[in-house]
Amino acid sequence: MTAIDWQDYQAKSQDFKDKIIMITGAADGIGRAVTIALAEQGAVVLMLDKKARHLEKLFDDIVARGYAEPIILPVDLMDVTPESATELAQAVYDDIGQLDGLLHNAADLGSPSPLDQYDMEYWNSVMHTNLQAPYFLTRALLPLLKQDHTTNILFTSADVGRQAEAYWGAYSIAYAGLEAQMTIWAEELENISNIKVNSIDPGAVRTSFRRRSHPGESQESLPTPQSIAQAYLKVLSGEHDFHNAKLVV
């Protein structure tokens, strides 16, 4: 793991101005914080999430602040197939013509339990949302990410994906697969494109997801999504030497 030295990072005006960046799970938590931070820097964020009403409120919030106007993509990752991912990529190409960054941030916790008792509906949901859908989207959007300048694919990861723990079930297994997917994408693209591929583990953050995964935990001392958003911006800016790195905030 590589720790990100991001606390002193200051985005430059050219880092994100008019860049097009897609974020999954953009409606709340870390996705929301990164979306706002990018829009503030002039990036057009393609906000992908199943929570359409939350996306609409976020859109209004960003516009009210005078930041770059985002684009709403009300998509449930459970509905993403290779075909629908290709259709989405084609729509981005037809309407915008470019993509400069892709942040896979959406996640499904499932129901932590022993593997021999794991609910199969939860299993399918977690594996599809956390592992399969990111692959379908990355594969479909890859031609748009192959630019003359540096572009970035960034996966939000989790410690249980690198060090499996009992009772984390499908969530831990999916993120182990996601780390492998990140590494393979990075190695395969390193010498044939300007795409940098990394993962980032934000650690414990004060989010609704954390409250569900660690019920009863006091969150008062945990960092907020807003306080770590700059770590994501540093990686998405491309102004770094990270490539095929498992990063930790």
Give 83's contacts (C-beta < 8 A, 6+ positions apart).
none
Helix, strand or coil, per DSSP, at residue 154: strand
CA-closest candidate to residue 143, choices 189, 76, 83, 200: 189
Tell me how far apart the alpha carbons of residues 208 and 206 are, in angstroms, rounded to a whole number.
7
Gap between the terminal Cα atoms of the chain: 10
Number of C-beta neighbours around residue 199 at 10 A = 28
Tell me how far apart the alpha carbons of residues 26 and 72 are, in angstroms, rounded to a whole number.
9
In the chain, count of helices (H) and strands (E)? Answer: 10, 8
Q: 171 an active-site residue?
A: yes
Query: Between vectors from CA 106 to CA 103 and to CA 110, what angle results, nearest 5°?
Result: 150
Tell me how far apart the alpha carbons of residues 31 and 203 are, in angstroms, rounded to a whole number.
14
CA dihedral of residues 47, 49, 53, 55 (deg, nearest 10): -20
The catalytically annotated residue of 67, 118, 122, 171 is 171
CA-closest candidate to residue 22, choices 144, 130, 111: 144
| Residue pair 11/237 in contact by the 8 Å Cβ criterion | yes
Q: Which residues are catalytic?
A: 171
